[in-house]
A and B are shown apart, each in its own frame.
Chain A
């Protein structure tokens, strides 16, 4: 032949497309396949020269299926050919028939879908979605990791990046999961094993993808409602900041006084739900001397109670804000801090006649629950003076 036959310059994207079509037809004999694919490069090449593009031909697999269907060539599974007669082959044959039927079903579904999206209104959207496939590969890896995370972490809140217990281990497995998912998507590893993948691989892949899609809402439901989850996750729920605010500052200690205005010790405080009052247990090193005041708990047997006030405090280096078990026996044991006010004005309930009894009752309870070794400072002013002071306080409140 003459010179032009040597110059077979096909556009690379055309060759790649035809290669994929050829791969999809790998169940055929070489002769049959070349019968179908022969001349295709020239045809598509000319389509491109004519102003068309390979992209408008759609998925090479669907293209190959259409070519095969129009040419009237049956799809064949890879284990066909060597099958002879004989009883022991019957089982294998019926399995083959099932897998063929499944293949036909999947192919029909695929063709139907291709036809469905091949309308002017959807074509551009579908092409965009096809180019976004890698996003789905990463997303399904994320779903799988979240499921793993949820099932191993129990009731813990999930984090957007799966941790799997340890930050480093989690990141590594997460990375591996992405690579595996992408390689499956690129048909490099099972079950994404190429154009001529077996029926089992197609079913497994379809099943896995469906599962990932179905699990997506389940995983997302693990996160608090959108918009606030970041805040809640890091500040409110996932890593709650303990404490009680007063005057825009954390309350670090509480100094109770009885109704007569005398300081009390060992008062257990609970909120309206019966939860122990929770205060921030260390102060900031505001004066910059490298030391900070750390609150120590009261005890009920082994239980550490941080809701019994005032809390004993101990000066510690600013970078050691935890409590030490042996602090009480150290040279610098925790001590009850001096109340900020030695005494405060007394307080009464509006019903003045019963307030003395009520005050005594309250005091008794406080004494009962207090630590006996510390004791409660008892007020022993005469009742007459107290009544005068009460009137004073009433006047002040009335202002």
Chain B
């Protein structure tokens, strides 16, 4: 492997770039380009704000750079290794905080909302917030699974490598996660539909 220009790096797979990155920062730059957006998205949805997402994304890549000499691909692809670093940093981040932040609707998320009639937008926005709140009430590994699947759009094999589980176990976890989420939302609906003693019926849904 020779050459330091970006066109050359694009030809190599991750394993070759990892070896090269030990002595050549350009190769690390190519790995960074390949994964920075996915790692950022993952962290953004796990932390709920862009400031911490940027900070933790930077730390993921700094940590990867520091440890790249000792990284050995034993069945764990480089991308899965990066996600594991991100997962550990996010777990520490949650431990350091007593409260969880609400995911803000910043411009990127707002841009992702489908175009709808104005009157239905408020309702769907409320539903969306409800769903996000229910997701945040899930155990950590289930949140991780949903983000890896729906945000980073990884295959079950890739998710399995990151979470150290078989593909079958990932499918089963996904099934159980959906059931838990549905049950949570149903309970929430039932709660809000139930008449409250201190309110008259006109205020209930």
Co-assembled chains A and B: no
Q: Which residues of B contact A (CB under 8 A)?
A: none
Q: Which residues of A contact B (CB under 8 A)?
A: none
